[in-house]
Structure 1
Amino acid sequence: MKTKFYIIMMLVIAGAFTSCTDDLVDLNINPNQPEVVPTANIFASATKDFTDFSRSGFNEGRLTLPWMQYWGQTAYADEDRFLYRESTAESLYTNTYLTMTDFKAILDLNTNEDTRETAAASGNNDNQIAASRIMLAYMFYDLTNFFGDVPYYSYGSDNETFQAGQLNDGVLSPVFAAQEDIYTDILKELRESADMINEGEIVFNSGDNIFNGDATKWKKFANSLILRVATTIKGVDAGAYQTAFDAAIASGVMTSNDDNASQAYDTADANSSPLWGAFLTRTDFAVAAPFIELLKGERGNFDQDPRLFQMAVPISVDIEDVKSGTAAVTMDYDDYLGVPYAFRNTNFLDRTTYSYPSSNVIKPDYREMLMEYAEVQFLISERNGFAQANYENGVTASMEKWGVPAADIATFVGNLPAANQANVLNQKYIALYMQGHQAYTEYRRTGFPDILVQVDETVALAQEQIDGLAPENRVESYVFEAGPVDPSVSDLPFRLRYPQVLQTLNGANRDAAAANLSNGDLIISKLFWDVN
């Protein structure tokens, strides 16, 4: 089995991702195990694997959560200053294709006449196909937004450039499909998936840790994702945006927080949420100062936001109390301070001078959010010219999700500044807390939120933080310095570089993809939809 594992890993890294050949499978048949794994089991493993790697302490905690200034690091600030790790890029890339093989296996089992009936024991065939296509669309949307052109797999397209997953056809070095084509196909896949769902049948009778087999919720999720994907290309293809968006609304999108799509986890450490694992033995992260200041009403033009008390803890609360769920949360905004963002001497700060994430986030059974009703309302607000009603609905839905009391919601929403691009998108940013990857895409697309600390900006430390520094390390302010990254950046990076291993294992196709980028395989090359 070790031989099989290493062969699969080499193929994955090369970009030739699919099931093993018949000969390789024959060599590894275990007579003590069933030859066909139930599709429900495969699906449960695949969705967990996806959120495990994409939302991990390295791939989100040290990348998009700090880049979007939701979190900052407490020991060092290298990634906060855009010096992300090569292992992060490789993990996001490689693990997407590893997980793709599981969803592709479900598609194969549900369409092969020899296994279709067996697969049906786990749920409706068409619904299993649709749910797998939706998850593939979700994963490739994330992947292409990090890198640009990538090898791509499509269930329902004969586009000859979609070569990921064609090992059995002899494709060992797949071409990188154009991002424009990937977006077009993702919208098609989501539209067809929503339309093929039979709402009268179960999706999976077990193993669906997102919607517990509810076909109607899967359909709403697909349509809601269309809103997200279509809006991303709004600036480059207004016609496709409007057509896809309006068809999704007509088909049915999320209508309340009951429709939120999130991956469930268990209280046991072995099956716990990925960020819980990041806090088991370390305290590398705290809530970043710009985000805390926004919620305190010190940045932007919003009132004090009671979501602060649900998202963070007072500076007096130790991380052990957060992890045990016994943190004493106060309702005094002065008790909350964020960790200075990208401050290179953060490790010298007293741990009692910044706020950790709350027990609503740092807990083993935290549900990793894939998409929520609040985002749907903000997307509809934008489609309607930044409409006030949907803007208020989005804020209300976000506050309700975080458990803010109804009276506090009414007061805050009643005092919201009028809807416009800045106000809607800044509130959308707050609602996307703990969804760093999507917030990063939104920032590149729109330039919002407009409250982030900028490169070369001078940042003042809070007095409590100044007082807590030893005299030899005491400063009152610092300058947010990027890097040193090459080339230098004056804003967030526009993308990640392709993993270095591709230069050896799929070099020609990687080079062709890099040549299509405006500045080559660099972090300053914009993706096709990034026209902000």
Structure 2
Amino acid sequence: MKKILNYSIGFLLVLAMASCESGLSDLNVNKTNPSSLDPALLLNQAIINTSFPVKSLVFDVGIVQQMVTPNGGVLAGANFNQDSRDVTTQPLWAAYYQSVIKNTHDALMRTKDDPARSNMYNMARIYQSYVFMILTDEYGDIPYTEGGAGYSDGILFPEYDAQQDIYPKIIQELTEAAAALNPAGTIETGDLLYAGDVAKWKKFAYSLLLRAGMRLIKADAAKAQSTVQAAVTGGVITANADNAYIRHDPNFTQPIGATLNGSEAANFYLAKPFVDQLKNTNDPRLAAIAIRYVGAGSGAGQTVAIGSTDPAKQIGMPIGKDNGTITAAATADGLASFYDYSQVDRRRIVKISSPVFLVTAAQTNLLLAEASFRGWITGGTAAQYFADGIRAHMDQMAAYDPNSAVPAAARDTYVTANPLTAGTELQQINTQYWIASFLNGPEAFANFRRSGFPALTPNPYGQPSNPDVPNGTFIRRLTYPTSELSVNTDKVNKAIERQGADKLSTRVWWDKP
């Protein structure tokens, strides 16, 4: 009996231990950590992280002479014709590969074999194509085929694709993905861009296709024309209701807005060429964009009480000055200090909650104006598309802040006074594109190189002996980050050998003289 009792107790202990182990294993399962992420969350994360990083302000916006700073250090870049790949400001390369392409690639891998998520798969293809277009436009040859495949395929040192190979693939992706979007399929209502609206996603894709086609005008005119025609046939964004833009709030702040409302509030100014263009043509957008703290002698002196949005009082900062030479320039302009120059109004259009526009009706209508002028499309005149593009951008200003809205009467007066004129069509269209792309640095930079307009004077800083930018020329691309040069050395060196020296002055494939 005693043996039976001992065996029974032993058996019960074994059962109890097994039960405890089961309970412990259950406790070790993190029930709040999903084993599989919804691809919609990955796409949304990519969208949020696309908002242009501060490096775009340091380079793109400065290259096209819309804003400039006289200060160096982490702000040195286009203002000094200086290569600063090693500054602490996050470069676009790192921001996009680490936080955008990684997420779109993951979303693609999770949906490509799932018919129920076909629309999500094609939305991710479209968005990834958009981001890859920015990257290749900024740098030239980039990891495309193997870009983002580190986790899925274990490719930690990706090959670089030549830009002339990337563009046809982007065009193919946009064409196929737009055609495959299906309004009868699952509607991905959680996406942050269009809440799954298939018709708007199609317009976004075809507008990107139009943009891609226009990039190729000098590199492959026949491909450019056929691509543009296919985009127009598909249907592009021509109304502001279809604009592709990223929304921000106090939790997801706009990067440039956060910078200009923070540590760099008193360091960036509207550039003289930009202010003069708007001022000399009585453009009502100047009042919507600019503010001047009249008489300010320091950053602390830029108070609301002395701020003026009067277009007549706006004075842009000259290009090519540093914090040693800007003082004399400000004195010559009759200003109290360089803090007295006009700025983009950080309390209106570059708030921390301001939207970031990616592709707009204004931009698309202006590209259509050029395509019409070239005789590539029918159905509308170049003059009408031109006027519609200007109106769309002026109406878009209200989306930043009600106090930046352009009155309809002022808009219409400007459009009437500035018609498309024979003999200057390309200059007019692309100067308006420059204005319509304000705060979208990568697109303003790309279209400036593509078109050659507006007719800006090169930044003279450091010339004629500048080692990065030859005398009388512009920055043509951004250089590869040090991380690539030191870690992915063989692959990036192959790209440099094929493309040309890793310098600011090297042209990307489609950027022909």
After superposition, residues 373-388 of structure 1 pair within 5 angstroms as 373-385=361-373, 387-388=382-383
Equivalent position amino acid for 1:493 in 2: I
Aligned partner of 1:237 in structure 2 is 220
* 1:78 partnered with 2:76: yes
What is the alpha-carbon distance in structure 2 between the residues aligned to residue 327 and residue 238 of structure 1? 52
What is the alpha-carbon distance in structure 1 between the residues aligned to residue 435 and residue 258 of structure 2? 24
What is the alpha-carbon distance in structure 2 between the residues aligned to residue 195 and residue 327 of structure 1? 54
- Of the two, which has the highest radius of gyration? 2
What is the alpha-carbon distance in structure 2 between the residues aligned to residue 430 and residue 32 of structure 1? 47
What is the alpha-carbon distance in structure 2 between the residues aligned to residue 78 and residue 252 of structure 1? 41
Aligned partner of 1:338 in structure 2 is 316
Equivalent position amino acid for 2:319 in 1: Y
Aligned partner of 2:473 in structure 1 is 491
Q: Is the 8 A contact 1:148 1:179 kept in 2?
A: yes
The correspondence for 1:265, drawn from 228, 231, 248, is 248
Q: Which runs of 5+ in 1 are unaligned?
A: 1-27, 154-161, 298-302, 457-478
Residues 194-203 or 59-68, more deviating: 194-203
What is the alpha-carbon distance in structure 2 between the residues aligned to residue 277 and residue 455 of structure 1? 27
1:273 CA drift (Å): 0.7
Q: Is the 8 A contact 2:478 2:504 kept in 1?
A: yes
Equivalent position amino acid for 2:406 in 1: V
1:425 CA drift (Å): 1.1
Q: Relative to structure 1, is the Cα distance of residues 189 and 71 closer, same or farther in structure 2, using a 3 angstrom cutoff?
A: same
Equivalent position amino acid for 1:137 in 2: S
Residues 404-413 or 171-180, more deviating: 171-180
1:30 CA drift (Å): 4.7
After superposition, residues 444-483 of structure 1 pair within 5 angstroms as 444-450=449-455, 452-456=456-460, 481=463
Aligned partner of 2:344 in structure 1 is 357
What is the alpha-carbon distance in structure 1 between the residues aligned to residue 147 and residue 246 of structure 2? 29
Aligned partner of 1:152 in structure 2 is 144
TM-score normalized by the length of structure 1: 0.78
Percentage identity across aligned positions?
26
1:424-472 CA distances to partner (integer Å, 9 max, x unpaired)?
A: 111111111111111111121121110x23244xxxxxxxxxxxxxxxx
Aligned partner of 2:3 in structure 1 is none
* 1:69 partnered with 2:50: no
Q: Is the 8 A contact 1:455 1:482 kept in 2?
A: no
1:158-200 CA distances to partner (integer Å, 9 max, x unpaired)?
A: xxxx565166545442221111110000011111111111235
After superposition, residues 284-323 of structure 1 pair within 5 angstroms as 284-297=267-280, 303-316=281-294
Aligned partner of 1:421 in structure 2 is 426
Equivalent position amino acid for 1:231 in 2: M
Aligned partner of 1:195 in structure 2 is 179
Equivalent position amino acid for 1:81 in 2: F
Q: Is the 8 A contact 1:134 1:190 kept in 2?
A: yes
Q: Is the 8 A contact 1:337 1:355 kept in 2?
A: yes
* 1:281 partnered with 2:263: yes
Residues 171-180 or 29-38, more deviating: 29-38
Secondary structure (helix, strand or coil) at the match of 1:369 reads strand
Equivalent position amino acid for 1:101 in 2: K
Q: Is the 8 A contact 2:68 2:319 kept in 1?
A: yes
Q: Relative to structure 1, is the Cα distance of residues 37 and 169 closer, same or farther in structure 2, using a 3 angstrom cutoff?
A: closer
Q: Relative to structure 1, is the Cα distance of residues 353 and 253 closer, same or farther in structure 2, using a 3 angstrom cutoff?
A: same
1:400 CA drift (Å): 1.5
CA RMSD of aligned residues (A): 2.8
1:499 CA drift (Å): 1.9
Equivalent position amino acid for 1:70 in 2: Q
Equivalent position amino acid for 1:86 in 2: R
What is the alpha-carbon distance in structure 2 between the residues aligned to residue 216 and residue 490 of structure 1? 46
* 1:405 partnered with 2:388: no
What is the alpha-carbon distance in structure 2 between the residues aligned to residue 498 and residue 84 of structure 1? 10
Q: Relative to structure 1, is the Cα distance of residues 90 and 272 closer, same or farther in structure 2, using a 3 angstrom cutoff?
A: closer
Secondary structure (helix, strand or coil) at the match of 1:427 reads helix
What is the alpha-carbon distance in structure 2 between the residues aligned to residue 136 and residue 337 of structure 1? 40
TM-score normalized by the length of structure 2: 0.81
Q: Relative to structure 1, is the Cα distance of residues 480 and 505 closer, same or farther in structure 2, using a 3 angstrom cutoff?
A: closer
What is the alpha-carbon distance in structure 2 between the residues aligned to residue 321 and residue 264 of structure 1? 31
What is the alpha-carbon distance in structure 2 between the residues aligned to residue 70 and residue 203 of structure 1? 40
What is the alpha-carbon distance in structure 2 between the residues aligned to residue 288 and residue 180 of structure 1? 34
What is the alpha-carbon distance in structure 1 between the residues aligned to residue 307 and residue 415 of structure 2? 26
* 1:137 partnered with 2:124: no
Q: Which runs of 5+ in 2 are unaligned?
A: 1-27, 331-336, 375-381, 398-404
What is the alpha-carbon distance in structure 1 between the residues aligned to residue 493 and residue 192 of structure 2? 39
1:126 CA drift (Å): 1.6
* 1:529 partnered with 2:513: no
Q: Runs of 4+ in structure 1 displaced over 6 angstroms?
A: 317-324
